[in-house]
Amino acid sequence: MTVSFARAASMITPSADDLSDLDRRLRPALLSFFMRRVGNRAEAEDLVQEVFVRIARSASTRMKSADAYIFQVAANLLRDRARREKVRADYHDEVRLAGDVDVDPLDPYRITVAREELTVLISGIADLPEKTRRIFTLYRLENIDKRTIADCFSLSVRSVELHIQRALETLAERLGPKP
């Protein structure tokens, strides 16, 4: 069956009928092509569908051989898929090599320790002198820059830095050394 691609060299955009004919004729071959390479029928079906989506979207494609063009699109899809999988695999390898590989972030012991440290931290902030607590809170919790804080309190930037430093030292003493 020769789809209306007989006029292929002059064809600019495949019509819906042309795509439908190509789909009927080439879907089994494309499905087989992808199944041999990905080994998953659902993924192969998705890739076949993507081939036809790309063909339909290509507004100004000149095709001398529709079959060859479609299989070139299919090969490009496989290359794109391989690149994406490599990026994902590299990312997973990096995460696995990171220090906290076998650490469960929802470990009950870790949650309890973190809550206790948070309680000590909140208590430590509450016990800071009023001005130091306000400056520390504005800087560390509200993300206000030192110059703005200095202007609000009629202080120099250096004084604001000293208040923040005192607050950090006091809180570090409260929390104690890390094991």
Per residue in 119-165, pLDDT tens?
999 999 999 999 999 999 999 989 999 999 999 999 999 999 999 99
What does the pLDDT read at residue 13?
56
What is the distance, to the nearest Å, from the Cα of residue 128 to the centroid of all Cα atoms in its chain?
40
DSSP single-letter state for residue 12: -
Q: What contacts 153, CB < 8 A, 6 or more positions away?
A: 131, 134, 135, 159, 160
What does the pLDDT read at residue 3?
42
Confidence of residue 60 (pLDDT cuts 50, 70, 90): low
CA distance 146 to 152: 10
| Residue position matching structure tokens 């000590």 | 120
Across the chain, mean pLDDT equals 83
Q: How many CB atoms lie within 10 A of CB 74?
A: 21
pLDDT of 111 strictly over 50: yes
What does the pLDDT read at residue 125?
94
CA distance 56 to 58: 6
What does the pLDDT read at residue 103?
64
CA distance 162 to 36: 67
